[in-house]
Amino acid sequence: MTIALSVLIALVLDYFFKEPKRFHPLVGFGNWVSILEKRLRQGSQDKLTFLHKVDTKQLGMMAWCIAVIPIVIVGWSVQFSLSQWPIVSAIFGGIVLYLCIGWQSLLGHALAIATPLKEGNMVDARQAVGMIVSRDTSELSGEAIASAATESVLENGADAIYSAIFWFC
């Protein structure tokens, strides 16, 4: 029951508030991982540190542990301490899940493509689809724009919505 309530809270928060505008925790996490990667790579090339004996796979495992395990421990600890108050626990879980999903953001990107495409405005449709795909969109036909948008929305939907909810549950 608590998990279902958390999912509902997350979806309602995402519907009304969309993505945080100022600081998105996932962007912050990405920045932290980039800094961590640079430090570990730099250290692995410095013969004066112990990291020069560590291979790439071990560095990756070390980076994952440093980046992920503390967050999991903090989240688990808070959730565990709130377990005696199911409603508060559901609200906390809902807020955490809200910060991990991107339903309205993905919808906004899809509509930014669909609207000009429907109106026959290929320039704006190409530009909008270029924001979510990693290919040259300057020469795409209407059908190719729709196809690229559909593929990207389905792929990103799996990442930004379904996987987050699945793993949360």
Residues 15 and 73 in one domain: yes
d(C-alpha 9, C-alpha 88), whole Å? 12
Domain final residue, candidates 50, 67, 100: 100
- Give the predicted TM-score (pTM) of the model: 0.78
Residues 59 and 19 in one domain: yes
**Range(s) of the domain holding residue 154:** 103-166
Q: Which residue has the tokens 């945080």?
A: 20
46-55 long-range CB contacts below 8 Å, 24 or more apart? none
Residues 89 and 67 in one domain: yes
Residues 131 and 83 in one domain: no
Residues 94 and 23 in one domain: yes
Domain final residue, candidates 100, 123, 142: 100
Residues 85 and 65 in one domain: yes
* DSSP for 102-167, written as a single string: -HHHHHHHHHHHHHHHHTT-HHHHHHHHHTT-SS--TT--HHHHHHHHHHHHHHHHIIIIIHHHHH
Number of domains comprising the chain:
2
Residues 78 and 42 in one domain: yes
Domain final residue, candidates 74, 100, 126: 100
Dihedral of CA 127/154/97/38: which sign?
negative
Is residue 43 packed enough to be buried (19+ CB in 10 Å), middle (13-18) or exposed (0-12)? middle
Q: At what angle do helices 86-98 and 2-17 cross, to 10 degrees?
A: 40
pLDDT tens, residue order, the chain (169 aa): 899 999 999 999 999 998 877 777 888 888 898 898 888 877 655 554 555 566 777 888 888 999 999 999 999 999 999 999 999 999 999 999 999 998 998 999 999 999 999 999 999 999 999 999 988 998 899 999 999 999 999 999 998 899 999 999 9
Residues 125 and 42 in one domain: no
Residues 77 and 127 in one domain: no
pLDDT of residue 128: 94
d(C-alpha 35, C-alpha 129), whole Å? 30
pLDDT of residue 47: 52
pLDDT of residue 48: 46
Q: Which of 67, 41, 69 is nearest to 55 (CA)?
A: 41
Residues 149 and 93 in one domain: no
